[in-house]
């Protein structure tokens, strides 16, 4: 499979970090640091940082994403944010189904699917997160679980819509722990994700799909992870909060 035809995407997931003032400073440092990138650069930021991010990234090569979206178009859902609210601001991507949302906010494969469909219908590009816990890896059910997560998340997503979908493999045990999956482990599961998408949508669609790895990806290990044939980018937490570290990861993806 030829990786050259796929777009590598390096996306920061800032999580619950950065006030709007801090966000402005970080983006001011990021813009010159990633301007020569030969991959897509995305920052997914808290809702409160979106305005400043969109304003500062306008006219640059940095694309802006949110960290979640509600599945209804509008209505009595106190505290929630719709796809239309995000696109109206100029937001392009949205992280969906992050394991922290699944673990702490009771999101399920079914609500992940509803959010993904709402995002796509609203013109956003969802970065759908899947991945196993340590116990699930030790039980040997990683591939089966990830296949199921992907199948449910994509239920009802059309082949045309799939072109705007990114899938991120994020083993839960590697998130924020400093324990990175080995490049071979990342490759194995990213390939399995591409395989199930191929079964659902055909070979060409699978070949075109961007599959990211996320979980303690950093300036030191990015190059090796990104060198794997089915790892098309990264979803980066901690290391995305430092412009110099994030830029090194972007450089690594630009070479691949
Ligand atoms: O959850 C992640 C990205 O969504 C990964 O976080 P870390 O890079 O901090 O491990």
116, 130 contact by CB (below 8 A): no
* Cα distance between residue 44 and residue 230, in whole Å: 22
Q: Which segment of 105-119, 174-188, 195-209, 218-232 scores lowest on mean pLDDT?
A: 174-188
Q: Give the model's pLDDT for residue 256.
A: 66
Tell me what pLDDT residue 255 has.
Answer: 86
Among the listed residues 54, 57, 118, 38, the one whose alpha carbon sits nearest the alpha carbon of residue 91? 54
Structural domains of the chain, count: 1
Pocket test for ligand 1, best of 175, 220, 233, 249 (most atoms within 8 A of CB): 175
Average pLDDT over residues 199-218: 97
- Averaged pLDDT for residues 167-187: 94
pLDDT band at 4 (very low <50, low <70, confident <90, very high): low
Which SS3 state, helix, strand or coil, does residue 21 take?
helix
> Looking at the predicted structure, is the pLDDT value of residue 5 above 80?
no
Looking at residue 3, what is its pLDDT? 73
Is residue 170 annotated as a catalytic residue, yes or no? yes
Instruction: Work out the number of other CB atoms within 10 angstroms of the CB of residue 40.
Output: 22
Residue minimizing CA distance to atom 8 of ligand 1: 237
Atom of ligand 1 nearest to the CA of 95: 4
Check if 234 has its Cβ closer than 6 Å to any atom of ligand 1: no
Question: Does the annotation mark 63 as catalytic?
Answer: no
d(CA 38, CA 10): 10
Q: Is the CB of 237 under 6 A from ligand 1?
A: yes
CA atoms of 209 and 228, how far apart (whole Å): 15
Residues annotated within a binding site for substrate: 13-15, 176, 216, 237-238
- Across the chain, mean pLDDT equals 96
Return the pLDDT at 1: 43
Cβ-contact 235, 127 below 8 angstroms: yes
67 lines ligand 1 (CB under 6 A): no
Please identify which residue in the block is written with the tokens 């001011």. 28
Q: Which helix (H) or strand (E) holds 111?
A: helix 109-121
| Residue 168, H or E segment | strand 166-169
Closest residue by Cα to residue 61 from 33, 89, 84, 82: 33
Angle at CA of residue 45, ends 41 and 48, nearest 5°: 145
> Average pLDDT for residues 61-65, to the nearest whole number?
98
User: In this model, does residue 249 exceed pLDDT 50?
Assistant: yes
**pLDDT score for 179:** 85
**Does 36 score more than 60 pLDDT?**
yes
Per the DSSP assignment, residues forming a β-bridge with 125 are 93
What is the end-to-end Cα distance of the chain in Å, rounded?
A: 14
Closest residue (by CA) to atom 2 of ligand 1?
237
pLDDT surpassing 60 at residue 96: yes
Q: How confident is the model at residue 163 (pLDDT cuts 50, 70, 90)?
A: very high
- Mean pLDDT for 64-81 is 98
Residues 6+ apart with CB under 8 A from 129: 95, 96, 97, 98, 99, 167, 168, 170, 214, 235
pLDDT at 10: 98
238 lines ligand 1 (CB under 6 A): yes
- In this prediction, residues 223-230 reach a mean pLDDT of 97
* Smallest CA separation from ligand 1 atom 6, residue: 237
**pLDDT surpasses 60 at 13:** yes
CATH (domain of 51):
3.20.20.70
Ligand 1 in reach of 98 Cβ (< 6 A): yes
Domain that holds residue 128: 3-255
Of 66-75, 114-123, 177-186, 204-213, minimum mean pLDDT range: 177-186
Catalytic residue among 70, 98, 107, 132: 98
């Amino acid at each position: 499979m030829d990786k050259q035809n796929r777009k590598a995407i390096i996306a920061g997931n800032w999580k619950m970090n950065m006030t709007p003032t801090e966000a402005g400073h970080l983006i001011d440092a990021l813009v010159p640091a990633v301007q020569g990138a030969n991959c897509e650069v995305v920052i997914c930021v808290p809702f409160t940082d979106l305005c400043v991010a969109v304003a500062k990234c306008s006219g640059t090569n940095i694309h802006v994403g949110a960290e979640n979206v509600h599945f209804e178009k509008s209505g009595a859902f106190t505290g929630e944010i719709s796809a239309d609210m995000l696109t109206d601001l100029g937001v392009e991507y949205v992280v969906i189904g992050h394991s922290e949302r699944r673990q702490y906010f009771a999101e399920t494969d079914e609500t992940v699917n509803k959010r993904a469909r709402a995002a796509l219908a609203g013109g956003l590009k969802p970065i759908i997160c899947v991945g196993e816990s340590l116990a699930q890896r030790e039980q040997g059910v990683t591939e089966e679980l990830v296949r199921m997560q992907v199948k449910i998340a994509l239920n009802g997503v059309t082949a045309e819509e799939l072109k705007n979908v990114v899938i991120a493999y994020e083993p839960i045990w590697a998130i924020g722990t400093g324990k990175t999956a080995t490049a071979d482990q990342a490759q194995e599961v990213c390939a399995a994700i591409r395989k199930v998408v191929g079964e659902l949508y055909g070979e060409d669609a699978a070949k075109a799909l961007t599959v990211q790895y996320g979980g303690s990806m950093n300036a030191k290990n990015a190059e090796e992870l990104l060198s794997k044939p089915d790892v098309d980018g990264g979803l980066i937490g901690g290391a995305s909060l430092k412009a110099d570290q994030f830029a090194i990861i972007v450089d690594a993806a630009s070479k691949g």
